[in-house]
């Protein structure tokens, strides 16, 4: 097994990346972002509790019962909203950079064709690259997972239950699938483009479209998002009444939803937000209930993942593409 | 000197408009501008209809006190409010690429030594580059303004008055200032860093910090929530931590200064409709001055970085 070219290339990929300044800079940056998002969420919760206590004290001083106010509830997994959003945005950039580096270094040093002149098949070459970077992304996510668990339990003194840990683990597994899609996308483009920095810019343009712009358009078209706090809340409408109203705008909603569904990021977000209970209706629900609703999103992100890997293999085996590299 | 300067600037424009990646980003930007007017109009029409339908549903349920229509009097210009987001997402990123490409080309091809063996001063060269970038960004902004005007003219009952058109133009001028700062960021790092990938990545890290981190720390909003124009209208900072962060970080929040001026210019809220352009600038003088200050600082830093650039010792790695 040790002499298998796939494992040798995978090991080389892993060791090269952990020595790469670019990768380490991004990793450090991601850790800073995760820390900031945890800190901001913690302070947000603290300010909600302070507001609640002030309101209760005011009501009591006026001789009224404070129980009419809903006490802010602490759910540790919901604290991870910012972290997941940063993984959506910055995690995807890390995937892109890794995909770019893994091909750019071979092209830049002219080692790709040299390597292929040795007893290394194209499948082993690209398989090794994918395996090595898969392990790297899994290690990165593992480190973030450990960091989150230790900071929430160590500093916040809140301990996760076994089911919460399982949900957290699953959320990070989905994050791996999502990040690997961007890795493959960028690697694919780096193989395809003769001028490699162009591949990086095109990857960023695609990232901008599918991670930021398309979900943003879908979000701003939502009638409920037109007023801070929600339009239907301002109208004091029940969920049934809201659905009744929205059902009259089926074409608009179908277009809006189709726009969101065209983005892999939205499927990832829906799946992870449901798994972690960040979306309130799934908070505290069993994994069975969540997956009954969200299996479609899981199929979507898995299809993007498998599709991009297969495409990377197919493109790399294409003679004309390899000729462009020489 | 003027001849040298204009030669460098014209060359910069020529090379940029031939670059496929720049043209791709430009295409995305124009499509977004065109799409933004349609999205704004479609959303505006739909939310008014949603309100009417909600009233019917509430009346059928026997609700006596129905809240008044929160969307009454939505301004024509507000259909462009998504442009604020597109400028600080796509516009600034495109500006980074423009600035980055402006000098990395010369460094990569190794022609800087050759260029300075000619009778060309450093200041003429860098000033020419800045002028070229400025013209490219101004052309882009004017074209975007025209796309917005045309798209609003194509939408029924959406024709802009002269004052509204002037406000829209002012918004694009402010957007130019914002994009220019980022283009200088791209240029500065393409001068000082030794690795090509880092020259693009480091300004992008700055971009992420300005677009997501600082606003998150000052408002307490999650990164994705900040991309919704409705959310950036309200500031949720409460409590000592956010108050402190707001005080400390606000001067550095270029994005916040930009949105503070852009919102009244695009009449995103009813109370902004009655304001004239001068009143808006007067009311948001602090933000306007801050943007101007960042504009000049970015130019100064570009000159400073280029002054320290060693032509003979330059090496750039992949």
- Confidence class for position A68, pLDDT limits 50, 70, 90: low
Residue A11 CA to residue A1 CA, distance in Å, equals: 12
Instruction: For residue A195, name the pLDDT band (cuts at 50, 70, 90).
Output: confident
Name chain A contacts of B90, Cβ cutoff 8 Å: 208, 213
Tokens of A246: 């929205």
Predicted local confidence at residue A166, as pLDDT: 94
Q: What are the tens digits of pLDDT across the range B124-156?
A: 899 999 999 999 999 999 999 998 888 888 877
Residues in B touching A82 (Cβ below 8 Å): 216, 222-223
Helix (H) or strand (E) segment spanning residue A52 = helix A21-61
Closest to A194 in 3D by CA, of A107, A129, A317, A110:
A107
Q: Does the beta carbon of B201 lie under 8 angstroms from any beta carbon of chain A?
A: yes
Q: Does A258 touch chain B (CB under 8 A)?
A: no
B195 strand-pairing partners: B317
Cβ–Cβ pairs < 8 A, chains A and B: 166
User: Chain B within 8 Å of A248 (Cβ-Cβ)?
Assistant: yes
- Looking at residue A112, its pLDDT comes to 73
pLDDT of residue B258: 93
Report the interhelical angle of A92-108 vs A162-192 (nearest 10°).
40
| pLDDT of A201 over the 70 cut | yes
Report residue A11: phi and psi, to 5°.
Answer: -65, -40
Distance CA B149, CA B154 (A): 9
B228: chain A residues, CB-CB within 8 Å: 216, 219-220, 225
Collapsing DSSP states into helix, strand and coil, what is residue B138?
helix
Which residues, other chains included, contact B11 with Cβ-Cβ below 8 Å and sequence gap of 6+? Answer: B128, B132
Q: Give the other-Cβ count within 10 Å of B165's Cβ.
A: 16
List chain B domain ranges.
18-35+76-121+136-308
Chain B residues touching residue A83 (CB < 8 angstroms):
none
What are the chain A neighbours of B198 within 8 Å (beta carbons)?
A: 21-22, 25
**How sure is the predictor about B234, in pLDDT bands with cuts at 50, 70 and 90?**
low
Interface contact flag, B239 A50, Cβ < 8 Å? yes
Rounded Cα–Cα distance for residues B268 and B259 (Å): 11
What is the pLDDT, as a whole number, of residue A322?
65
Six token digits for residue A86: 């940063």
Question: Is the pTM value of this prediction over 0.90?
Answer: no
Q: Range with the lowest mean pLDDT among A244-248, B41-45, B306-310? A: B41-45
Query: Looking at the partner chain, which of B32, B50, B63 has a beta carbon nearest the beta carbon of A245?
Result: B50
Name B308's Cβ contacts closer than 8 Å, sequence gap at least 6. B192
Q: Structural domain boundaries of chain A?
A: 5-325
State the smallest CA–CA distance between residue B139 and chain A in angstroms.
21
Q: d(Cα A106, Cα A187) in Å, to the nearest integer?
A: 12
CA atoms of B26 and B306, how far apart (whole Å): 27
> Which contacts of B293-299 are long-range, i.e. CB under 8 A and separated by 24 or more positions?
B294/B181, B294/B254, B294/B257, B295/B177, B295/B180, B295/B181, B298/B180, B298/B181, B298/B184, B298/B185, B298/B188, B299/B130, B299/B184
d(CA B134, CA B141): 10
pLDDT, mean over chain B: 84
Using CA atoms, how far apart are residues B84 and B32, in angstroms rounded to an integer? 12
Count the alpha carbons within 13 Å of A14 in the hemisphere toward its beta carbon.
Answer: 16
Query: What does the alpha-carbon distance between residue B193 and residue B315 come to, in Å, rounded to a whole number?
Result: 10
**CA A122 vs CA A112, A182, B59, B200: distances in Å:** 10, 21, 68, 31
* pLDDT at A117 > cutoff 80: no
Distance CA A271, CA A256 (A): 18
pLDDT confidence tier of residue A138, bands split at 50, 70 and 90: very high
């Amino acid at each position: 097994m040790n002499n298998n070219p796939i494992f040798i290339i995978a090991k080389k990929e892993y060791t090269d990346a952990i020595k790469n300044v670019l990768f380490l800079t991004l990793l450090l940056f991601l850790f800073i972002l995760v820390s900031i998002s945890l800190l901001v969420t913690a302070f947000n919760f603290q300010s909600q509790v302070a507001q609640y206590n002030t309101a209760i004290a005011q009501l009591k001083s006026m001789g009224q019962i404070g129980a009419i106010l809903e006490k802010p509830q602490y759910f540790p997994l919901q604290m991870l909203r910012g972290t997941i959003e940063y993984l959506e945005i910055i995690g995807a950039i890390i995937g892109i950079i890794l995909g770019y580096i893994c091909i750019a270094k071979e092209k830049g040093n002219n080692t790709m064709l040299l390597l292929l002149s040795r007893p290394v098949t194209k499948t082993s070459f690209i398989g090794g690259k994918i395996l090595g970077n898969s392990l790297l992304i899994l290690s990165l996510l593992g480190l973030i997972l450990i960091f989150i668990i230790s900071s929430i339990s160590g500093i916040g003194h809140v301990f996760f239950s076994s089911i919460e840990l399982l949900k957290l683990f699953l959320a990070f597994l989905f994050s791996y699938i999502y990040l690997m899609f961007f890795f493959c996308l960028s690697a694919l483009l780096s193989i395809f483009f003769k001028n490699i920095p162009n591949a990086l810019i095109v990857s960023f343009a695609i990232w901008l479209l599918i991670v930021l712009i398309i979900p943003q358009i879908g979000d701003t078209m939502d009638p409920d998002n037109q007023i801070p706090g929600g339009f239907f809340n301002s109208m004091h409408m029940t969920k049934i009444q809201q659905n009744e109203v929205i059902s009259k705008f089926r074409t608009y909603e179908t277009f809006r939803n189709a726009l969101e569904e065209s983005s892999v990021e939205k499927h990832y977000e829906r799946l992870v937000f449901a798994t972690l209970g960040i979306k309130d209706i799934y908070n505290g629900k069993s994994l069975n209930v969540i997956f009954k609703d969200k299996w479609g999103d899981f199929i979507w992100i898995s299809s993007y993942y498998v599709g991009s890997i297969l495409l990377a293999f197919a493109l790399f085996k294409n003679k004309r593409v390899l000729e462009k590299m020489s | 000197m003027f001849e040298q300067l204009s030669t460098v600037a014209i060359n910069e424009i020529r090379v940029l408009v031939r670059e496929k990646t720049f043209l791709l980003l430009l295409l995305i930007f124009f499509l977004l501008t065109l799409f933004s007017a349609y999205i704004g109009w479609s959303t505006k029409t739909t939310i008014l209809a949603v309100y009417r339908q909600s009233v019917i549903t509430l009346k059928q349920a026997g609700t006596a006190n129905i809240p008044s229509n929160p969307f009454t009097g939505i301004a024509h210009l507000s259909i462009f409010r998504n442009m604020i987001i597109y400028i600080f997402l796509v516009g600034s990123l495109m500006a980074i690429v423009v600035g980055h490409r402006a000098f990395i080309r010369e460094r990569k091809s190794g022609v800087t030594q050759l260029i300075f063996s000619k009778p060309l001063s450093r200041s003429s060269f860098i000033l020419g580059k800045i002028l070229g970038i400025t013209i490219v960004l101004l052309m882009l902004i004017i074209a975007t303004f025209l796309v917005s005007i045309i798209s609003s003219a194509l939408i029924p009952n959406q024709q802009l008055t002269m004052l509204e058109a002037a406000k829209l133009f002012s918004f694009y001028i402010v957007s130019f200032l914002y994009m220019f700062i980022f283009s200088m960021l791209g240029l500065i790092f393409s001068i000082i860093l030794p690795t090509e990938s880092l020259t693009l990545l480091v300004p992008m890290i700055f971009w992420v910090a300005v677009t997501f981190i600082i606003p998150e720390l000052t408002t307490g909003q999650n990164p994705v929530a900040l991309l919704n124009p409705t959310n950036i209208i309200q500031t949720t900072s409460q409590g000592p931590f956010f108050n402190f962060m707001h005080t400390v970080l606000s001067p550095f929040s270029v994005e916040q200064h930009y949105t503070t001026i852009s919102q009244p210019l695009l009449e995103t809220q009813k109370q902004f409709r009655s304001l004239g352009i001068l009143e808006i600038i007067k009311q948001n003088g602090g933000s306007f001055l801050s943007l101007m200050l960042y504009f000049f600082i970015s130019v100064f830093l570009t000159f400073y970085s280029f002054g320290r650039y060693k032509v003979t010792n330059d090496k750039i790695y992949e």
